[in-house]
Amino acid sequence: MIELVDTNDSRAVRNKNNVLGFYDLVIDKKKSEDVHRFMSPAYIQHNPLIANGPDALGKFFGQITKERAKARVVVHKIIAVGDYVFAHVNFLNLFNDDPKDTGIAGVDMYKMDADGKAIEHWDALQFVGTRRTRLHGSHRTCHVRIPTACSELQRERKERVMTYPIIGSGAIGSALAGHFASKGIEVSLANKSRTGVARRDRSQAGLEGKSGHPSRKPPLRTS
């Protein structure tokens, strides 16, 4: 793990340690009841699949870790500056028990309060996949509609459809859809071929016209 923090900034060091403590205790050690040690009562959650507040976050991970004994998080990089902590992570076995699970890559962004507890959170997530699924798999788009009963925040967004690009096999997209559906969240999956990406890669490498990859006309150039 790479840590980027000014060791002379005690506030930043404390905030970094608290975020690492959250990952270790709540997810890895599956003690979701301890989420209040790391999250403020006023915690704002910008991920639309989880309601505001530490209780909702604890319930979310508590359910996952109850169903998935191997669920864990690997922290690759963590940066702490002032009131903010940024973590590059890989969530493993959240939706399956496969020992070869490549997981979900994520960037978590936390704003911390004066007591070193997270008061606000944003994230970006993507399935990692393998080289094979990246080149030959499917590009699935999940259209996730938040039901009105989830939370006050989500009620305000009830007409909004959240779109998540998922790179990987069809089985991965189906697993994610099944997880959302079990929580009462409506999900529809749309397959999209990944061959267009392969064509773009070959075109950029000067391989136009090779078998199975139609050549593209070069852009017009003006002098």
How much is the pLDDT for 120? Answer: 97
What confidence score (pLDDT) does residue 147 get?
41
Q: What is the DSSP letter of 206?
A: T
CA distances from 2 to 18, 107, 125 (A): 16, 14, 20
Q: Which structural domains are found in the chain, ordered by start? A: 1-128 (3.10.450.50), 130-206 (no CATH)
pLDDT of residue 157: 46
Per-residue pLDDT of the chain (223 residues; tens, 9 = 90+): 999 999 999 999 999 999 999 999 999 999 999 999 999 999 999 988 899 999 999 999 999 999 999 999 999 999 999 999 999 999 999 888 899 999 999 999 999 999 999 999 999 988 887 655 444 444 444 444 434 334 444 444 444 444 444 444 444 555 556 655 665 555 555 544 443 333 333 444 444 444 444 445 555 554 4
Strand partners, 161: 145
Q: Is 0.85 surpassed by the pTM of this model?
A: no
Q: How many CA atoms lie within 13 A of 213 on its CB side?
A: 17
The label of the residue with tokens 């199975």 reads 212
Task: Compute the distance between CA of residue 106 and CA of residue 187 in angstroms, rounded to an integer.
Answer: 21
